[in-house]
Chain A
Amino acid sequence: MSAMWLEVTTAMKARTMVRHFRESFKSIGRNSWMTFASVSAVTVTLLLVGVFVLIMMNLNKVADDLENDVEMKVFISLGAEEEIVQNLESQISDMPGVESTDFSTKEEELTDLVLDLGEEFRLFEQSNPLFDVFYVKAVDPQQTEKVATDIAALENIQKVEYGEGKIQKLFDFLNAGRNVGLVLILALLFTAMFLISNTIRITIVARRREIEIMKLVGATNWFVRIPFILEGMWLGILGSIVPIGLVALLYSKVTEFAQPRLTGELFQLLEFTPFIYQVSALILMMGVFIGIWGSFMSIRKFLRV
């Protein structure tokens, strides 16, 4: 007479889920003060996370753009013959550490300039003040400086230009900023989680009797836990609404301001979409994560199921 009753029922019924939702909403209303406190903590945390992510992702983008664009502009001395130019081009491309060379006549340069800066510059077509140039890229952007010096030493080269040293500084800054930001955010995440777990603890204590009876009459552990997990999740989601709105607003203003000013520059900010959707999704997921994690901490400690 093996016992049939031992089989654990696992399928979650729809009306059970409705019940869990209802219970979790009730608690949120009932602990209004703790709800407010923990939602505020989540809001502050996620707002900082959002702004931090905006800044870091854009700095990363800028650094990437610049790194990919560490292109030397090699100005060829005025009046160099076509033969000399061809000779220079093969000399430069044969140098170790050079990835590519790209010749551009001063006429092409002017066309680019007009495209970038406007029709007024057409008036230089009368007497073009620009140089014929090579655009040269180093295989390794970190080697740019060495390659530039080598090229400058060649004959018939007027000068070599590139974004000297700025890129390394940007990378250093980026790394330092990222570490400081991460520590700050971790601290805030823990504070928010702690507050959520405290809120859930209060709910658990308020419903001790109910929980005791549920367990006594054979409610499954998940049945007992889920309302608290949901409650934590709502707190996290509520806390992510304001940050998502503010971060989106902020970034729309930033891109609105910066986009026209950065046209034609070597680097660009990330486009408003889809970047802002990704950031919003990240904020929401972190909210949900903080909420669920916070409730688990209390469930483990105070529910013992």
Chain B
Amino acid sequence: MIQMKNVYKKYPNGIVALNGLNVEIEQGEFIYIVGPSGAGKSTFIKMMYREERPSSGQMFVDDIDIATLKNRKVPMLRRQIGVVFQDFKLLTKLNVYENVAFALEVIEEKPADIKKRVMEVLDLVGLKHKAKMFPTELSGGEQQRVSIARSIVNMPKVMIADEPTGNLDPETAWDIMNLFERINKAGTTVIMATHNQQIVNTRRHRVIAIEGGLIVRDVAGGDYGYEG
């Protein structure tokens, strides 16, 4: 469902972050993106939701070339892709329920559907009982679960996460990982950039290693492959 053909990305400052990348990802896969700092992992992820546009090459989501997708259509692409970040990106003035509902309100879903869906995902991430609390009253792991709930509340086909456990202690990181696997089991493609060696080596999935803007390794059930 996602294909990249010779994707090349040069930032305006001249740095080449992706150097002719080729990859194919099927619906329902679970993928780790690994590699040293500055390798181009975040850039790779940003391509998928069109935060960045390839400088050249083709990039397809559901057979649609998103490299040339009109800006006007980008919101429609983003409704198919849930994104999770290291820093959660929650709105501090809204409570847990409102933060998740926000994602559906701004794409104009029906209020009745919003309520139902938000309660479902809060249940899934185990925060139904904290729906009225504010982000500042939650632990890091809980905040990340809110942001995961928000990313999947619209039932996207793909969930991408850029170092989702980067700010969490090891214990909490495992909770988040369990959640991702559950979401993946339900049929959602999960793509996760990570530096967490322990998780990658324990929960085996396809590993794509990027170095210097190129895929240097792509192994189903592979290991992390770098020193701690």
Q: Do A and B bind each other?
A: yes
Taking a contact as CB atoms under 8 Å apart, the answer to whether B79 and A217 are in contact is yes
CA distance A214 to B75 in the complex (A): 9
Q: Which of A6, A7, A13, A223 has the most CB of B within 10 A?
A: A6
Point out the residue from A2, A6, A209, A217 that lies within 8 Å of B106, measured CB to CB.
Answer: A217
The reply on B174 being an interface residue by CB < 8 A is no
CA distance A194 to B110 in the complex (A): 38
Chain B hits for A8, CB < 8 A = 72-73, 75-76
Q: Distance in Å from the Cβ of B62 to the closest Cβ of chain A?
A: 4
CA distance A200 to B177 in the complex (A): 41
Among residues of A, the one whose C-beta sits closest to the C-beta of B82 is: A217
Chain B hits for A128, CB < 8 A = none
Chain B hits for A213, CB < 8 A = 89, 91, 102-103
Taking a contact as CB atoms under 8 Å apart, the answer to whether B63 and A218 are in contact is no
Taking a contact as CB atoms under 8 Å apart, the answer to whether B78 and A218 are in contact is yes
CA distance A2 to B60 in the complex (A): 12
Taking a contact as CB atoms under 8 Å apart, the answer to whether A216 and B78 are in contact is yes
Among residues of A, the one whose C-beta sits closest to the C-beta of B83 is: A216
The reply on B145 being an interface residue by CB < 8 A is no
Taking a contact as CB atoms under 8 Å apart, the answer to whether B63 and A1 are in contact is yes
Among residues of B, the one whose C-beta sits closest to the C-beta of A217 is: B103
CA distance A209 to B79 in the complex (A): 18
Among residues of B, the one whose C-beta sits closest to the C-beta of A220 is: B75
Chain B contact patch, size range? 20 to 34
The reply on B195 being an interface residue by CB < 8 A is no
Taking a contact as CB atoms under 8 Å apart, the answer to whether A217 and B78 are in contact is yes
Among residues of B, the one whose C-beta sits closest to the C-beta of A224 is: B106
Taking a contact as CB atoms under 8 Å apart, the answer to whether B62 and A1 are in contact is yes
Interface residues of A in 2-51 (CB under 8 A from B): 2-3, 5-9, 13, 15-16, 19
Interface residues of B in 51-89 (CB under 8 A from A): 61-64, 71-73, 75-80, 83, 89
Among residues of B, the one whose C-beta sits closest to the C-beta of A305 is: B71
Chain A hits for B61, CB < 8 A = 3
Taking a contact as CB atoms under 8 Å apart, the answer to whether A209 and B103 are in contact is no
The reply on A212 being an interface residue by CB < 8 A is yes
Taking a contact as CB atoms under 8 Å apart, the answer to whether B78 and A6 are in contact is no
Taking a contact as CB atoms under 8 Å apart, the answer to whether B107 and A219 are in contact is yes
- With contacts A15-B111, A213-B102 taken as known, whether A221 is within 8 angstroms of B89 at the C-beta atoms is no
CA distance A3 to B60 in the complex (A): 11
Taking a contact as CB atoms under 8 Å apart, the answer to whether A219 and B91 are in contact is no
The reply on B9 being an interface residue by CB < 8 A is no
Taking a contact as CB atoms under 8 Å apart, the answer to whether A2 and B73 are in contact is no
- With contacts A209-B89, A209-B91 taken as known, whether A6 is within 8 angstroms of B105 at the C-beta atoms is no
CA distance A213 to B84 in the complex (A): 11
Point out the residue from A2, A7, A212 that lies within 8 Å of B89, measured CB to CB.
Answer: A212
Taking a contact as CB atoms under 8 Å apart, the answer to whether B79 and A218 are in contact is yes
Point out the residue from B64, B111, B154 that lies within 8 Å of A6, measured CB to CB.
Answer: B64
Which 10 A/B pairs are nearest by Cβ-Cβ distance?
A218-B78, A218-B79, A219-B106, A3-B62, A217-B103, A218-B75, A214-B106, A220-B75, A3-B64, A16-B108
A-B contact pairs, 27 of them (CB 8 A): A2-B63, A3-B62, A3-B64, A5-B79, A6-B64, A7-B76, A8-B72, A8-B75, A15-B111, A16-B108, A209-B91, A213-B89, A213-B102, A215-B78, A216-B78, A217-B78, A217-B103, A217-B150, A217-B154, A218-B75, A218-B79, A218-B106, A218-B154, A220-B72, A220-B107, A221-B72, A223-B106
- B interface with A by C-beta (< 8 Å): 49, 61-64, 71-73, 75-80, 83, 89, 91, 102-103, 105-108, 111, 150-151, 154
